[in-house]
Structure 1
């Protein structure tokens, strides 16, 4: 009777050990997965929750441009403005050609309120003007990447008083615009 009990206990302990070993292997594989490491890295560096569903190409592109100085009319890493930065993202990350000016880009979107924005959507601002003067790309968690005239390419929060004050609308590129690009 005691032998049966000890044998049963030993089998139970071995089963538990095997399950723990499998979960450690899965966790190790998860930690060593390059996409998961990239997600963790961008989450920490950019202060944005990057997960498995996120577009890592988008975050990698933005990371490579962070700190690029602002230059009106610029479109290189020596200096870039907000619409050129957004255009470059759409060209390189989404394989979509958009217009060069923030007001013109707004004509290519389906306007959205702030609470319906998804990663990759656009955010538009009317800064001390009646017309759109600034654009960025939404990343999630109220954060967006843009070329700030005072700080260059940065990630900011839509809830910061400055951006909250001047936020106009969000927008998602219209399917008809994407369809036109496919036909060309």
Structure 2
């Protein structure tokens, strides 16, 4: 129900913004770009700065999954866990096959500190464990998407809970992108 409301709001926002852009400018070749409108909408809804350099496919994918319940071992819209969600993003958005478990995925990355993360990088956590136990995808501005016990959400790395358990960020190694890994 909420997604239908948000979708209809997006349509209304696109219509209003398009009309405003057409009346504001005399140059008919400079009408509103639908991808730019979607970026603005997703920025507001998701609380993430989506700009012209952002991967709009990534944000659309995440938006479609927001609210999906958490289910350990799950990999569908009926329920999904953090590593399956991350694997789905890499498969559908980046056309890259990654492993299924957060610890195994960590073996595929070049570890990075928080301040070097870029959109699409991975974030790893050791939550109440000596081993990596949670994974998400970095969106920028301290935000990351992940499947949590509250379902698929966008959270802030600076939130005291996530800051406490943050282990490292990581970027998939180019050699891993070239050699797609089978499950």
- Provide Cα deviations, 1:89-140, integer angstroms capped at 9, x if missing partner: 0000000000000000000000000000000000000000000000000000
Inter-partner Cα distance in structure 2 for 1:111 and 1:41: 32
TM-score by length of 2: 0.83
The equivalent of 1:29 in structure 2 is 30
**SS of residue paired to 2:25:** helix
4+ runs deviating over 3 angstroms = 25-30
Shift of 1:180: 1.3
Specify every segment of 5 or more residues in structure 2 that has no aligned partner in the other structure, as ranges: 1-21
Shift in Å, 1:50 = 0.3
Which runs of no fewer than 5 residues in structure 1 stay unpaired? Answer: 1-20
TM-score, normalised by the number of residues in structure 1 = 0.83
**Structure 2 residue 172 is matched with structure 1 residue 164:** no
CA distance in structure 1 between the partners assigned to 2:158 and 2:123 by the alignment:
13
Are residues 1:173 and 2:172 paired?
yes
**Alpha-carbon distance in 1 for matches of 2:165, 2:26:** 49
What pairs up with 1:1-80 in 2 under 5 angstroms? Answer: 24-25=25-26, 29=30, 32-80=32-80
2:110 is matched with: 110
What displacement does 1:27 show? 10
Kindly tell me: are residues 61 and 115 of structure 1, through their superposed partners in 2, closer, same or farther at Cα, counting changes over 3 Å?
A: same
- How far is 1:181 from its partner? 2.5
What are the superposed Cα offsets for residues 141-162 of structure 1, whole Å, 9 maximum, x if unpaired? 000000002x100000000000
Cα separation, 2, equivalents of 1:41 and 1:89: 20
**Aligned counterparts of 1:80 and 1:49: Cα–Cα separation in 2:** 26
Is 1:93 aligned with 2:93? yes
Change (3 A) 1:177 1:47: same
3-state secondary structure, aligned to 1:29: coil
Root mean square deviation of aligned Cα? 2.0
Counting matched residue pairs gives 160
**Contact conserved, 2:147 with 2:153, CA < 8 A, in 1?**
yes
